[in-house]
Amino acid sequence: MGFPIYRPRRTRATENLRSMIRETELSVNDLIYPLFVVPGKNVKHEIESLPGNYHWSLDRLPEVLDEITELKIPAVILFGIPSYKNATGSSAWDMEEPVQQACRLIKEKYPDLVIVTDVCLCEYTEHGHCGVLENGCTVNNDATLPLLAKVAVSHAKAGADIIAPSNMMDGYVKAIRTALDEEGFTNIPIMAYSAKFASAYYGPFRAAADSAPEHGDRKGYQMDPANSDEALREVELDIEEGADIVMVKPALAFMDIILRVKDTFNRPLCVYNVSGEYAMVKAAAERGWIDEKRIVMETLTGFKRAGAKMIITYHALDAARWLRGE
């Protein structure tokens, strides 16, 4: 049935009509806000590569947590800058380091806020890779797994609600699930970075987290951006090993992957609107080249339309304000 019997413009005439037939709705409940916690006191330092985002010391963290809870954003994901680094990244499971301390603070003072913790070693190793190095250059997959499990258990003990391993080691979900269960944390879900690509979009984050590799790159364990079928195999493996939530990262250039994962698997799907995606929008908006609000909201809605249930985004504070009409 075509024109002139069917005229699609009839239902686009007013905002109320458009809202009545709108197929995808973005909500504040979809948002997860990343936080960078650091050692020391009285630290609120804007991250140059992520304008509007900050390094927070524990004593000043409530400033942003108050804002997050007032905006009704349901969850945060924590990244830590450690007080020390070494070859194995042992500060990652040190109970007195920033992530573990932040978990305890949030659980005590903001008990309704969902705490997601990133589990990786790149911020904690002196070489910047995501695991134990073999012969000084190659990440030893199997030697890394028990260390990741120790990190996950330390986060759960500190009060994390969701464990989000991002390391892309083979077998990492199984190792972490087993360790959590053995320690009595059977009800802590795992949000696996299942389809994590070796992407140029991570640049600003690596500056913010001081996690760039000292040498080489991560193409030996993160995925080739050209591959789609491989992403489905990775997701399937993580689900078989016990992943409760799966993730596609980055999001913007990988919406085809988001859609395929959503259509193929019966698991909640999270996407990470990563630092490079954020930084490009901020840079263009600063120059007056784009309408920042419209671009951000269109992009986030696009992630939902493609199949995302949750969105980790540095835009979360602004998006929450815009969603309530500010």
| pLDDT tens track, the chain, 326 positions | 789 899 999 999 999 999 999 999 999 999 999 999 999 999 999 999 999 999 999 999 999 999 999 999 999 999 999 999 998 889 999 999 999 999 999 999 999 999 999 999 888 887 777 777 777 668 889 989 999 999 999 999 999 999 999 987 899 999 999 999 999 999 999 999 999 999 999 888 767 655 555 555 556 668 899 999 999 999 999 999 999 999 999 999 999 999 999 999 999 999 999 999 999 999 999 999 999 999 999 999 999 999 999 999 999 999 999 999 98
- What is the reported pLDDT for 127? 74
Q: Contact, 160 vs 115, CB < 8 A?
A: yes
- What is the reported pLDDT for 269? 98
- What is the reported pLDDT for 212? 53
- What is the reported pLDDT for 137? 63
Break the chain into its structural domains and give their ranges.
Answer: 23-323
Q: Contact, 116 vs 75, CB < 8 A?
A: yes
CA dist list (Å): 321 to 25, 26, 239: 16, 13, 35
Alpha helix ranges (H) inside the chain? 15-20, 61-70, 98-109, 141-158, 172-182, 203-209, 229-241, 255-264, 275-286, 292-306, 316-323
Closest to 254 in 3D by CA, of 205, 307, 298, 204: 307
Q: Contact, 193 vs 164, CB < 8 A?
A: yes
Among residues 196, 262, 282, 304, which one is catalytic?
A: 196
Percent of the chain as helix, strand, coil, to the nearest 5: 45, 20, 40
Q: Is 312 exposed, middle or buried (0-12, 13-18, 19+ CB in 10 A)?
A: buried
Catalytic residue check, 249: yes
Q: Which helix (H) or strand (E) holds 76?
A: strand 75-80
Q: Contact, 172 vs 151, CB < 8 A?
A: no
Catalytic residue check, 85: no
- What is the reported pLDDT for 219? 60
Query: 91: which 2 tokens?
Result: 């500060």
CA dist list (Å): 35 to 75, 99, 156, 265: 10, 10, 18, 29
Q: Which helix (H) or strand (E) holds 247?
A: strand 245-249
Output the pTM of the full model: 0.94
> How do strand 191-196 and strand 162-165 relate by DSSP bridges?
unpaired
- Coil, strand or helix: which one is 162? strand
- What is the reported pLDDT for 326? 86
CA atoms of 311 and 313, how far apart (whole Å): 6
Among residues 41, 44, 85, 249, which one is catalytic?
A: 249
CA atoms of 326 and 315, how far apart (whole Å): 14
User: What's the CATH class of domain 23-323?
Assistant: alpha beta
Q: Which amino acid is at 184?
A: G
